[in-house]
Chains A and B, each alone.
Chain A
Amino acid sequence: MWLQEGKPYVLKVVREAEQRLIRDGSRNKEYLSITGIPAFNKLSAKLILGEDSPAIHEKRVCTAQCLSGTGSLRVGAEFLAKHYPQKVIYIPTPTWGNHPKVFTLGGLQVKSYRYYDPKTRGLDYEGLLDDLRAAPSDAVVLLHACAHNPTGVDPTREQWEGIRQIIRSKNMLPFFDSAYQGFASGSLDEDAHAVRLFAADGGECLIAQSYAKNMGLYGERVGALSIVCASESVATRVDSQLKLVIRPMYSNPPIHGAAIVATVLGDRGLYQEWTVELKAMADRIIRMRHLLYEALRARGTPGNWEHIIKQIGMFTFTGLTKEQVNFMTKEYHVYMTSDGRISMAGLSSRTVPHLANAIHAAVTKRV
């Protein structure tokens, strides 16, 4: 049983968009501009910030097509290292394994703030606030927009507001990593709540978007970096400087995936179909969560397993120890990362009972 990463499948709307593109004889493979497909950029900004975003209407947002989430984060980091006075970024503990290196190689100093509380298997909210309070003013703060990776623990709306207040009062710069919009709750708007909360207060922020998961475009490397600025004039200048970061890195971005996204987002019918497919994908994962939770309760597995249904998104931080994980791999052929994280996307109703048995055994054998 492979629970390290779910097997991706190709969405119907993606296949359809791709067919249209490849059959379109008027298209060619000329270099995109350095910041990519303009329609893709506009649609991506609208997707995350909302149709009626004042920042977009006031032309305060510059967007560059980048290589999925990683590429967007890296370009953002290099831009900040060149132009932002406080070259330190605070990242949550734990966070996606690649974050520290992306920022370090991008030229920023990396520090941490408390995030996951292993005792509650939830958010260490007070620890988070304390660490941000103690951080220097102006520091950059990395925030997972939704479906925190790897824990699946997200702040509540009230907690997001508390985080926003600290960040704004200390003049810190939020940098959102949005890799699961629509995939977490099933609702694109719901999953954009935190980003929009921050954008609504008129302040600045960076947003890295990925279409790897929510459009299943993993290998095509599609994403966008948006920088919400205080004014249109700043946004124009920032945009010109993003080009100077991108040109010596890869000159201009790959066309195929972004053209697919632009086709889907720009067509009312395809967009609708996408939201339906997305909700189905998210609902399936939520169903797996409930199935696993019920299965553990049915076996009387000791411990509180509510976090399985409270956590959000692709991953669950089970709280299992390294030894328990090893045991499960050896005895039950369950493959997962040693930090106890499982990918819910890798589960099916057929395989949940086996996983529940494995967890039950690991916990009761006092491994």
Chain B
Amino acid sequence: MAVATDASRFHAVPMAPPDPILGVSEAFRADTSDLKLNLGVGAYRTEDLQPYVLNVVKKAEKLMLEKGENKEYLPIEGLAAFNKATAELLLGADNPVIKEGRIATVQGLSGTGSLRLAAAFIQRYLPGVKVLISSPTWGNHKNILNDAGVPWSEYRYFDPKTVGLDFDGMLADMKDAPNGSIILLHGCAHNPTGIDPTTEQWDIIADVIQEKEHIAFFDVAYQGFASGSLDEDANSVRRFAARGMELFVAQSYSKNLGLYAERIGATNVITTSPELALRIKSQLKRLARPMYSNPPVHGARIVANVVGDPALFDEWRAEMQLMAGRIKQVRQKLYDELVAKDKSGKDWSFILKQIGMFSFTGLSQSQSENMTNKWHVYMTKDGRISLAGLSSAKCGYLADAIIDSYYNVQ
């Protein structure tokens, strides 16, 4: 009994546009020009513009192969050794929060999966509560909250006039929000702007959050990658935790351990008692089970092996400093090239002030399109470039492209 081939139940399904970030790499791959440069997705490249698998990761994988580990299901909450390691990395092993057992940690599918699990928890246990996200923020934040059914609104963040933080706007919007809202903050190396609050500003943000009885929700995707130091980059989270605040924290090991495709991260909830932490953990598990049952083991084992071995851990710190160092170097080089080539006297120093993988160039959408169409420089339409994909050798070319796009395109 055949069925007519034009009778599709999905005939009305529209073609979805390509992902604004991941789609850039697809377009880059299709470009045949020798000059092409991929500054789209935040994936670290060496000076030779090659993907980089950390030496400690290779060592850990060899160790795992030798041990002949099995492939049993992990428990729903993930690998215990990983969960312990990730909480300690975030807060410091001696942190009272950990000693008092006031943290619920569940292994998640990198940053995205960890954010989504936390959002699902918020939807179920804090129904109707709004999450405030920065304007701008990582593009996928909105999609995650939408699909989780969590309402959101924006707080001012980026000031195009100063190419810096609109601190007054940020505080005003947090004060305006109803008490008990959730504030999504980037732990360090804000994506896409690269603009982070200073320590003093973090303290004021924490004051406002406490006054308004908001809950801080940290997205920590670049710990160790921003400054090169794991502890320094965790400063914001640790200062908030030290005040006894309840926090959501999503972590990712995509960048700092180069484990992008292994999808390894964690959802953490810091709360007021160990008993509450246990209850929260049990509910996070109930949300993870109907999503993917239990998380993938490979990436978790790699992290546990690296962090669990003092020699590997030290080697990791060194590799991370190298990666963060290379990015700081290209920032400087790009700045030098822009200053040398742009005779108008425009202040490009924001490039040096920004932190992390990305630079918010201030280019408009049409200017960003010019970067791609004329110069084969692939970036996101919001003007963000990933310095992780830039080599010293290409800084001159990029400077030419930016200057042309900035001055000659409206």
Give the interface of A toward B (CB within 8 A): 7-10, 14-15, 18-19, 22, 27-34, 67-71, 74, 78, 83-85, 98, 101-102, 104-106, 138, 165, 168, 171, 173, 201-204, 212, 216-221, 227, 229-231, 234, 236-238, 240-241, 243-245, 247-257
Measured between beta carbons, the chain A residues less than 8 angstroms from B61 are: 22
Choose one: B9, B43, B65, B110; the contact of A19 (CB below 8 Å). Answer: B65
Check B13 for interface membership: any CB of A closer than 8 A.
yes
How far in angstroms is the closest Cβ of chain B from A224? 14
Are A84 and B9 in contact, CB atoms less than 8 angstroms apart?
yes
Give the interface of B toward A (CB within 8 A): 1-16, 18-19, 22, 26, 41, 43, 51-53, 57, 61-62, 65, 68, 70-74, 109-113, 116, 120, 140, 143-144, 146-148, 254, 258-263, 287, 289-299
Are B71 and A98 in contact, CB atoms less than 8 angstroms apart?
no
Choose one: B6, B15, B287; the contact of A231 (CB below 8 Å). Answer: B6
Measured between beta carbons, the chain A residues less than 8 angstroms from B70 are: 8-10, 219
Choose one: A7, A27, A30, A248; the contact of B147 (CB below 8 Å). Answer: A248
How far in angstroms is the closest Cβ of chain B from A27? 8
Measured between beta carbons, the chain B residues less than 8 angstroms from A28 are: 51-53
Measured between beta carbons, the chain B residues less than 8 angstroms from A27 are: 53
28 residue pairs A–B, Cβ–Cβ below 8 Å:
A8-B71, A8-B72, A22-B62, A31-B22, A31-B260, A31-B261, A84-B10, A98-B289, A98-B290, A105-B120, A173-B9, A201-B3, A204-B10, A220-B71, A230-B7, A230-B8, A238-B10, A240-B15, A244-B16, A245-B147, A248-B140, A248-B146, A251-B112, A251-B263, A252-B263, A254-B109, A254-B263, A257-B298
Measured between beta carbons, the chain B residues less than 8 angstroms from A221 are: 292-296
Contacts A30-B43, A83-B10, A219-B296 given; does A70 touch B259 at CB 8 Å: no
Inter-chain CA distance A144–B4, complex, in Å, is 25
Inter-chain CA distance A22–B57, complex, in Å, is 11
Measured between beta carbons, the chain B residues less than 8 angstroms from A220 are: 71, 296-298
Are A29 and B51 in contact, CB atoms less than 8 angstroms apart?
yes
How far in angstroms is the closest Cβ of chain A from B84? 18
How far in angstroms is the closest Cβ of chain A from B299? 7
Choose one: A30, A218, A245; the contact of B260 (CB below 8 Å). Answer: A30
Are B116 and A240 in contact, CB atoms less than 8 angstroms apart?
no
Measured between beta carbons, the chain B residues less than 8 angstroms from A101 are: 289-290
Contacts A165-B1, A218-B71 given; does A30 touch B116 at CB 8 Å: no
Inter-chain CA distance A356–B361, complex, in Å, is 73
Are A31 and B16 in contact, CB atoms less than 8 angstroms apart?
no
